[in-house]
A = this chain, B = another copy of it.
């Protein structure tokens, strides 16, 4: 299909004179927009061979002795029984090595997820990392209106903001829950907004077979039936209900995506201390057991279907029971998960800039930087929640999104490694300048100054005097201006009117067939 190139100003009422792209052209260095990160730093290993073997042995023992429950989905139980697993009611036990063998026989190591704009197609696996905005929050937060339930208008604005951030590679899924749309229908509107306002890859709907089928049908409208059959055009997450349960709402959608050859990230979601043991090694064994069983299921449903090992393991406060994020233990768990995924031979899906903070404050900055760096160091291939997450996932923050976007740019730059070209070595500059002089006016500096360093949009480096004269704004306040600027400058990628019409007709038809007003 074709995409039109017309540019529409969205949110015209937010526009201020002189704040458009032209006004900024002079001071903003061109940011490199890439379809995804190609890491040139090796992952950071936290376990040695012996440690990895121990976790794998323990996962095998869990699958053999404790097993996993697959609730409310008799078809899955039959699939496992046929494959040789020990099925007793909804309880399934696996001989050591069985899941791994089945996965490794057919799961691809690497694959692409297509975007409707081919320039935005991403690669999943190997040294590639895709950064994706926050998923799931029923609330949004910004400095002007505070914390509030999210609406479909928030949803559209967030998709537009994300689309304008050069360091994100994916449009995501439930960037916030638009609670002003009935819960049973809103997946249709969310999918439409991703397709309409961004031309990056996007996620399907995860919860329930019917919604997953809607996502597949809408993607077929965009990409064409034949293309979708052979190519990944959606992305789904299947969360276990830890410990050791997969329920029908997740297995239902897993089957739809797997059968349609669309990638599924098999993601144990656990808070250590509540949903897994209060230790890193114990949680890792359980996470691996759940991931192995779920990945195995994908391959049994459709051998060769793309899948990722997911890991979303954090901790809880042992004083209050509250979930905690950006913790040392969460860091250890994601680093080890990367090693475990690479040994299975599937890409790693994990989570990014997490925080329990209520505000885009010092806690959010510290926890977010910690978490995103850990995911990158783990060699993650897909990082969900790379921007925006506050309050342990209850809130997508507008300002937090912008501060995290800077962080995404930083990690992309770090993981490019060191430029060792002749220009990078700069020996001529050192000879030219000599001892005791400065490099500001050297020919090398003049030739490189526009692209020399990563330029942050929100980190202020000015003097205290200048910063005071400019209003003494903290980082969150600066981010507040920046998301408005991104909305002002949003460039509509356009959508083929025939596709648009077909999508809208599909959505109307589907909505009419549903009962009314099931609010979240």
Number of interface residues of A (CB under 8 A): 129
Binds B, one of A102-110, A153-161, A216-224, A276-284: A276-284
A276 to B458, CA, bound (A): 25
A80 beta carbon closer than 8 Å to chain B: no
Considering only CB atoms, which chain B residue lies closest to A289 in the complex? B430
- In chain A, positions 369-425 with a C-beta closer than 8 Å to chain B are 369-370, 373, 377, 391-392, 394, 399, 403, 406-407, 410-411, 413-414, 416-420, 423-425
Given A244-B434, A281-B424, A364-B362, also A439-B276 (CB < 8 A): yes
Residues of chain B within 8 A (CB-CB) of A437 are: 243
A82 beta carbon closer than 8 Å to chain B: no
A369 to B319, CA, bound (A): 25
Query: Quick check: A58 and B427 within 8 Å, CB to CB?
Result: yes
Question: In the assembly, how many copies of this chain are there?
Answer: 2
Query: Quick check: B413 and A328 within 8 Å, CB to CB?
Result: yes
- In chain A, positions 187-209 with a C-beta closer than 8 Å to chain B are none
Query: Quick check: A282 and B377 within 8 Å, CB to CB?
Result: no
A472 beta carbon closer than 8 Å to chain B: yes
A433 beta carbon closer than 8 Å to chain B: yes
A54 beta carbon closer than 8 Å to chain B: yes
Residues of chain B within 8 A (CB-CB) of A444 are: 277-278, 282
Least CB distance, A188 to chain B, in whole angstroms:
30
- In chain A, positions 425-444 with a C-beta closer than 8 Å to chain B are 425-427, 429-431, 433-440, 442, 444
Q: Which of B51, B65, B455, B462 touches A420 (beta carbons < 8 Å)?
A: B51
A459 beta carbon closer than 8 Å to chain B: yes
A414 to B329, CA, bound (A): 7
Q: Which of B42, B280, B452 touches A318 (beta carbons < 8 Å)?
A: B452
Residues of chain B within 8 A (CB-CB) of A368 are: 365-366
A315 beta carbon closer than 8 Å to chain B: yes
Residues of chain B within 8 A (CB-CB) of A329 are: 413, 453-454
Given A41-B46, A322-B463, A418-B51, also A279-B426 (CB < 8 A): yes
Given A282-B427, A332-B417, also A320-B462 (CB < 8 A): yes
Considering only CB atoms, which chain B residue lies closest to A353 in the complex? B366
Query: Quick check: B65 and A318 within 8 Å, CB to CB?
Result: no
A365 to B324, CA, bound (A): 17
Interface mask (A282-295 → B, CB under 8 Å = 1, otherwise 0): 10111000000000
A360 to B365, CA, bound (A): 10
Residues of chain B within 8 A (CB-CB) of A100 are: none
Query: Quick check: A440 and B321 within 8 Å, CB to CB?
Result: yes
Known interface pairs A147-B464, A356-B461, A366-B368; 10 further A-B residue pairs with C-beta atoms within 8 A, sorted by A's residue number: A29-B318, A245-B436, A272-B452, A277-B445, A279-B419, A286-B430, A317-B461, A356-B460, A369-B370, A391-B464
A sample of 13 inter-chain contacts (CB < 8 A) reads A51-B418, A67-B435, A277-B430, A281-B419, A281-B425, A282-B427, A323-B461, A328-B413, A358-B472, A362-B458, A362-B476, A366-B475, A370-B410
